[in-house]
Amino acid sequence: MFSIILRMIGAAALCSLVAACVSRVSDDTLNSPEFAASGAGIVVMYAPPPDPRCGNNRSVELGTYRAELGSWKPVKVAAIAGSSDGGDKAAELILPPGEYGVLSISCFGTDFAGHTLRVRMLAPNVRGLGAHLFGDLARDFTSPLATFSVRPGEVVNVGAILSARTGPTTFAPLLAPLPPGVLASFQATKPTLAEKMVTRPMVLANSAPLPPTGAAPSAPLTH
- What pLDDT is recorded for position 89? 84
- What pLDDT is recorded for position 12? 39
Average pLDDT along the chain: 77
For the cut 60, the answer to whether the pLDDT of residue 124 exceeds it is yes
Confidence of residue 52 (pLDDT cuts 50, 70, 90): confident
Contact 81, 60 (CB under 8 A): no
Tell whether pTM > 0.75: yes
Which residues on neighbouring strands pair with residue 170, listed in sequence order?
167, 222
- What pLDDT is recorded for position 215? 32
> Which alpha helices (H) appear in the chain, and where do they start and end?
2-17, 33-38, 180-189, 191-196
Confidence of residue 130 (pLDDT cuts 50, 70, 90): very low
- What pLDDT is recorded for position 213? 30
- What pLDDT is recorded for position 11? 40
